[in-house]
Amino acid sequence: MTLALALVAAVGYGISDFLAGLSCRRAPVTQVTAAVQLAALVPAVGIAVASGTAPSWSVVGWGALAGGGVAIGSVALYLGLSRGRMSVVAPVSAVAGAALPVLIGPLTGERLYATAIVGIAVGIPAVLLVATAPSGGGEPRPGGGPLRDLAFGVVGGLGFSVMYVGYGLADETSAWPVAVSLLVSATAMAVMAVVATGRLTPAALRLPLLAGIVAGTSALFFRSAASGGALAVSSIVTSLYPGVTVLLAALVLREPIGRLRACGLALTLVAVVLIGL
């Protein structure tokens, strides 16, 4: 069940990031990020309130920590997706995002089976291969290059790494950690959007609103996967989401993939199978 939930989260995050990155090419990043976070609140708060419970102070603390990670990670990732190659920025963010949970998971008593360890060992270089392999043609967008894409990916990934840890270490199984985190990040991003642009323009943000609904739902799936001592495995599987973003970029934006990157995508599937055994 953990593997299935994490896979659903990975697909959702991949779709959401593609939609948000595409939107950032048409609207200010702060406005897109605010719209995504506000829309993500809808499923998260809805499920949390429907549970009929109130969040503990511990959950509020871990949720707030995760919310800070969401805000930082989203801004960096969306900037990278809008100004660089989606097929580079997204995988780099995934590698950075998986690092901290993989280190913390075993320290909290999480048990990793041999096949899961092999799967993780395959998954990390697979994502790196997707990130660094030549794309087979095309040029990045003006204003930077590989180092810029790397920087955006690393900062974004570290932010999401904090989010993963916050969700995984919250001491209850309800949706409140996700709801609190998104409330924190949505508030921060709404303030930033108003300060940066002086307004919010909902008419230009229909696509980000859809991205937010998908992202909020994906966060709930990840939270369910990571609860109960499955932080490391859930984080690695969810971090395979760039494969979805890369495929969408290839299909919709015609970004070339190249043979080595295609091999990396194939290896991510192998990693998922091994982790799920």
Query: How far, in whole angstroms, is CA 98 from its chain's centroid?
Result: 10
**Proportion of the chain above pLDDT 90, given as a percent:** 14
Give the pLDDT score at 143.
47
- Given this model, what pLDDT does residue 139 score? 42
- Domain boundaries of the chain, sorted by first residue: 2-276
Single pTM value for the model: 0.78
CB 144 within 8 A of CB 82: no
Give the tokens for residue 265.
């995508």
- Give the pLDDT confidence score for residue 114 in this predicted structure: 76
pLDDT value of position 15: 93
Query: 50 pLDDT exceeds 60?
Result: yes
CA distances from 168 to 161, 172, 174, 233, 246 (A): 11, 10, 12, 11, 27
Give mean pLDDT, residues 42-70.
89
Residue 145 has pLDDT above 50, yes or no: yes
Strand spans (E) along the chain: none
